[in-house]
Amino acid sequence: MALADPTVYDTHSALQVEQADERAARRTLRSQIAKLERELSDAFVTAFPDNLVAAPAMAGRSAPRLLDLGELERVRDGLAERLRRARVALAERAEVQEANRIALERMLLDPAEHPFEVMPLRELGEPGCGVYQVRPRMGLIGMLRGWWQVKLSSGCPLAGGRGRRPWPALGGLIGVGDRGRLRALAGLSG
């Protein structure tokens, strides 16, 4: 009866241990990458209107493949660096918005100290097109008397604008005041 060679058995068992260690390392790296991707996507959604965080880029590969441990570590490190930059950009934006909120509070407390100052809602981190403006309460009289107020504009301008339409766009709708202009253009008197 022949016994198995002990060196073959030790090599086989060492190979199994090495494969188990590599599987555990892969599993750990994949879970770290998944966590970093979730956090990066959260940062992207948080910063979306201002485009502070670049959209996640997909690496262009022609066919699926299994990454080795070194490539998994590079992917993880790249994601960690992108997440760090995103967090720095979000923190800087938060500081600017906080400073703008404090400036708005000062404007609201004492409008006379901040004549004609403007604070858009976007700079406060709020949605919309509104703008806080310090204006005189009753036009020129209020400006001379020192009567100032803070007003919030109604929001975004109309899509078509409210400006005066050019004359050919009247499309046959002629008002009472337009008849004289039409006759003058046509060379008619009367």
Q: 60-109: per-residue pLDDT in tens?
A: 556 677 778 888 889 899 989 988 998 898 899 889 999 999 999 999 99
User: Model-level pTM?
Assistant: 0.58
CB 111 within 8 A of CB 150: yes
**Across the strands, what pairs with 136?**
148
Say yes or no to pLDDT of 170 above 50. no
With H, G, I as helix, E, B as strand and everything else as coil, classify residue 144. Answer: helix
Residues 135, 107, 123, 139, Cα dihedral to 10°: 0
Q: 103-160: per-residue pLDDT in tens?
A: 999 999 999 999 999 999 888 888 878 899 999 988 888 888 888 999 988 777 666 5
pLDDT computed for residue 129 by the predictor: 83
- What's the rounded Cα separation, in Å, for the pair 114 and 35? 47
**Across the strands, what pairs with 150?**
134
User: 76: closest CA among 31, 21, 44?
Assistant: 31
